Amino acid sequence: MTGDDGGRAGRAQNTALTPVRAYLLRWARAEADRILEEARCQAAATLRQARRDAEEAVGQARTRGEAEIALAAAAERRRGREQARAIVLGARRQAREELCARVLTAVGGLRDEPGYEGLLARLTVLAEQAAGPGATVTADEAGGVVARSGRAVVDCSLPRLAVLAVDALGDQVTELWTP
């Protein structure tokens, strides 16, 4: 196999999986929209509390005296910003984890949907084509399929595709937490 053949195979695999990715991406965005407001409210409340805590710490530092106040206030503000950032990042991480969990739960429910058999048939064809000649395709217990050939394993299981769809959102996921 030449380097060009490998590139074409990768492009063919990406092209073959495009409808699945697009479907899962639309679905993930719709699910993300549902939890967006909750994540924003949590992040805003956490940030307000962190700012109140930082302001209180700065106020206490001012009572220590003029000589110490410049250094103490700067240190308190820096710590407050760091704490606020840590809290916001923690809230974002928690919301992202919740999004992933909800997406995985919802994807698991696809097996009970009327169109699942059609999706399974499309995934089977896509996985078989991506794995190459002689590939064997097996149903995954969590939904979807996995194709294996002598040269490749193509995981089109529903959990794997769901994670790929959330990952494909990339920086767009952070928009969920931007007030």
Where exactly are the structural domains of the chain?
Answer: 3-177
* Residue 133: Cβ-neighbour burial (10 angstroms; 0-12, 13-18, 19+): exposed
DSSP H or E run through 143: none
Give dist(CA 9, CA 36) in Å, integer. 37
Taking the CA atoms of residue 38, residue 42, residue 45 and residue 46 in that order, the dihedral angle to the nearest 10 degrees is: -170
Give residue 157's pLDDT.
Answer: 95
Q: Supply the mean pLDDT for the chain.
A: 82
Beta bridge partners of 138: 146
Query: Do 107 and 159 contact (CB within 8 A), yes or no?
Result: yes
Give residue 155's pLDDT.
Answer: 96
Give dist(CA 74, CA 61) in Å, integer. 10
Question: Out of 152-156, 159-163, 167-171, which region has the weakest mean confidence (pLDDT)?
Answer: 167-171
Residues contacting 96, CB < 8 A, separation 6+: 173
Task: Render pLDDT for 27-74 as a digit per residue (tens, 0 to 9).
Answer: 667 766 766 766 677 778 888 888 888 888 777 777 766 777 778 888
Distance between start and end Cα atoms, the chain: 50
Give residue 82's pLDDT.
Answer: 93
Question: Out of 94-98, 129-133, 153-157, which region has the weakest mean confidence (pLDDT)?
Answer: 94-98
Query: What amino acid is encoded at 62 in this protein?
Result: R
Pairing mode of beta strands 136-139, 144-148? antiparallel
- Would you state the structure tokens that stand for residue 169, as one six-digit string? 């959102």
Give residue 38's pLDDT.
Answer: 64
> What are the strands, taking DSSP E only, across the chain?
136-139, 144-148, 153-157
Output 59 or 9, whichever has higher pLDDT.
59
Give residue 45's pLDDT.
Answer: 82
pLDDT at 178 over 70: no
- Would you state the structure tokens that stand for residue 99, as one six-digit string? 């999004």
Query: Do 79 and 114 contact (CB within 8 A), yes or no?
Result: no
Predicted confidence band of residue 144 (pLDDT cuts 50, 70, 90)? very high
